[in-house]
């Protein structure tokens, strides 16, 4: 690939949405299936999800949560209990109405077709989220304050009938985790909601190298049935926002609808306060859009399916075995002796019998943080050729093998830091304070506009009107910007200490 050519066509600047599709394809992460809106997550993409799962799961367990598993199918009568929640989800869900297929011969074509039979007395929906079915279990499990808090998490697939699916970002079926907790008091439940919000912020920053804006959703943007929704908002390279994770305080809305009650310390019967919080395979879409470049995927090292790929350079048959042995020995040393944030290094040796340049570009497009080449000369000089995915594709450095082994985890951390720094600088230069409604209106006429942060004290209706006008939303009320110097609301002129962040989003 020469310097003026990129591995991905089109580039980000030419057509961002199409660039995204091409990166997913070039990195072999996922593909569409014949099931409407559902994707196949291929091994390289699923590897990222496995790492996200493992690392988040440790954080959940460290904060006292336990995993459990609840039914995929929800009786539709459950949805009739919490009205707002039902309205929010029932318009887009998969409904199971029959439990049998029978073969039937088509009189015209003569072919056998399968026909649904065995109609169910009560249909089920495939869970779009599990508040109702987990709530039903909680109402069985909680009797006394001694049974609280209940701190449960579920790793599962869920389904929402999306009209305009997009790989990872919006798919009918997706994988996620959903935490569900029940508490004695409002304070405790809110503490939990905030704690898990912080877990997501930390995870995105320290594992995915994505700097988010943590904040609260306005009433308009809340989870259906929640009293408070906290969100972590990521900015990706076309300056759109992606809601990367949410944590909800559900008050007593679900516990009253489903009778999750307990005998309190004072002997009275009370309803629990519940929370729920989740992140999904959408995070993979977020990290692709946040970090990747015109040569393909760029993976943050902690969630890289492979962190180091070693490519043997074997021009001649007589030195080939020696080079292969050296590559495998280096991989083994790195795997056994080095740990990055507690986990053994993930190192792959690409021994395929194909051209070296083809190999190199495949791993560039797949986003591997460090590529190593070893040839016959390097064995004599005890050096390895190191290339970093966060640097230009033609940059390389020959370093002593022993130095590389010693520094491998530091280099991975440097790559993480450089991705985080780059994303933070990009985000910060694209969130602009705005106190004039004229500037505000004009802003959204630009191509790929950044976010605006404004004083805001409007009503939900006023927010809705502004949002629709410009196809934007209040992404959040940033947690650290709710006690600012008093200023005039950008629309109503009412004095306010609160600030809102506005932007376009996926």
Using CB under 8 A, list all residues that contact a copy of itself: 31, 33-35, 38-43, 46-47, 49-50, 66-80, 86-87, 90-103, 111-114, 116, 118, 123-126, 133, 136-137, 140, 152, 156-157, 159, 161, 173, 175
Nearest-approach distance from CB 56 to a copy of itself, in angstroms: 14
Q: What is the DSSP string of 456-483?
A: ----HHHHHHHHHHHT-EEEEEEGGGSS
Cα 372 to Cα 271: distance, rounded to the nearest angstrom: 59
Q: Which is nearer to a copy of itself, 34 or 318 (CB)?
A: 34
In terms of DSSP bridges, do strands 30-32 and 66-67 run parallel, antiparallel, or are they unpaired? Answer: unpaired
CA 213 to chain centre: 15
Q: Which is nearer to a copy of itself, 93 or 476 (CB)?
A: 93
Q: Which is nearer to a copy of itself, 173 or 295 (CB)?
A: 173
Give the count of beta carbons closer than 10 Å to the beta carbon of residue 484. Answer: 15
Nearest-approach distance from CB 60 to a copy of itself, in angstroms: 12
Q: Which is nearer to a copy of itself, 67 or 421 (CB)?
A: 67
Nearest-approach distance from CB 34 to a copy of itself, in angstroms: 6
Question: Is 76:86 a contact under the CB 8 Å cutoff?
Answer: no
Q: Which is nearer to a copy of itself, 155 or 361 (CB)?
A: 155
H/E/C letters for each residue in 91-143?
CCCCEEEEEEEEEEECCCCCCEEEEEEEEEEEEEEECCCCHHHHHHHHHHHCC
Nearest-approach distance from CB 113 to a copy of itself, in angstroms: 7
Question: Is 130:70 a contact under the CB 8 Å cutoff?
Answer: yes
Question: Is 44:26 a contact under the CB 8 Å cutoff?
Answer: no
Q: Which is nearer to a copy of itself, 357 or 485 (CB)?
A: 357
Nearest-approach distance from CB 24 to a copy of itself, in angstroms: 14
Give the closest residue to 366 by CA, choosing from 85, 5, 23.
23
Angle between the N-to-C axes of helices 282-291 and 43-62, in degrees from 0 to 180, rounded to the nearest 10: 110
Q: Which is nearer to a copy of itself, 161 or 426 (CB)?
A: 161
Nearest-approach distance from CB 228 to a copy of itself, in angstroms: 26
Nearest-approach distance from CB 12 to a copy of itself, in angstroms: 27
């Amino acid at each position: 690939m020469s310097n003026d050519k990129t591995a991905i066509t089109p580039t980000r600047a030419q057509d961002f949405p199409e660039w995204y599709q091409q990166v997913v394809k070039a990195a072999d992460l996922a593909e569409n299936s014949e099931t409407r809106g559902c994707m196949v997550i291929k091994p390289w993409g699923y590897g990222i999800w496995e790492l996200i799962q493992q690392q988040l799961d440790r954080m959940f367990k460290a904060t006292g949560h336990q995993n459990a598993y609840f039914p995929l199918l929800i009786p539709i009568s459950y949805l009739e209990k919490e009205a707002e929640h039902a309205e929010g989800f029932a318009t887009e869900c998969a409904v199971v109405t029959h439990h049998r297929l029978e073969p039937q011969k088509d009189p015209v074509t003569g072919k056998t077709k399968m026909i649904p039979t065995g109609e169910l007395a009560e249909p089920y929906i495939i869970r779009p989220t599990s508040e109702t079915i987990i709530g039903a279990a909680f109402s069985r499990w909680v009797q006394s304050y001694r049974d609280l808090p209940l701190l449960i998490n579920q790793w599962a697939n869920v389904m929402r009938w999306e009209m305009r699916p997009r790989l990872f970002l919006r798919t009918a079926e997706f994988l996620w985790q959903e935490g569900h907790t029940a508490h004695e008091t409002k304070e405790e439940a809110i503490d939990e909601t905030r704690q898990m919000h912080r877990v997501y912020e930390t995870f995105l920053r320290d594992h995915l190298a994505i700097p988010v804006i943590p904040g609260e959703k306005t009433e308009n943007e809340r989870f259906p049935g929640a009293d408070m929704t906290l969100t972590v908002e990521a900015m990706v390279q076309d300056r759109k926002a992606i809601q990367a994770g949410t944590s909800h305080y559900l008050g007593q809305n679900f516990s009253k609808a489903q009778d999750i009650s307990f005998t309190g310390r004072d002997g009275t019967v009370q309803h629990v306060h519940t929370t729920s919080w989740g992140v999904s395979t959408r995070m993979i879409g977020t990290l692709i859009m946040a970090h990747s470049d015109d040569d393909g995927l760029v993976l943050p090292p902690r969630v890289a399916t492979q962190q180091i790929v070693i490519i043997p350079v074997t021009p001649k048959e007589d030195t080939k075995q020696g080079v292969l042995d050296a590559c495998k020995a280096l991989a083994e040393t790195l795997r056994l002796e080095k740990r990055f944030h507690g986990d053994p290094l993930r190192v792959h040796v690409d021994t395929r019998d194909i051209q070296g340049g083809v190999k190199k570009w495949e791993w560039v497009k797949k986003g591997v943080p460090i590529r190593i080449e070893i040839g016959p000369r390097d064995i004599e000089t005890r050096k390895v050729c190191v290339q970093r995915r966060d640097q230009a594709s033609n940059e390389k450095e020959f370093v002593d093998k022993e130095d590389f082994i010693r520094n491998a985890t530091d280099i991975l951390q440097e790559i993480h830091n450089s991705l985080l720094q780059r994303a933070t600088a990009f985000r910060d230069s694209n969130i602009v304070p705005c106190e004039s409604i004229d500037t505000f209106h004009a802003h959204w006429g630009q191509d790929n506009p950044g976010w605006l942060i404004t004083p805001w004290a409007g009503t939900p209706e006023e927010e809705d009107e502004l949002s629709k006008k410009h196809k934007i939303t209040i992404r959040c009320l940033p947690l650290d910007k709710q006690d600012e110097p008093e200023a005039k609301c950008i629309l109503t002129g009412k004095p306010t200490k609160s600030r809102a962040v506005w932007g376009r989003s996926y």
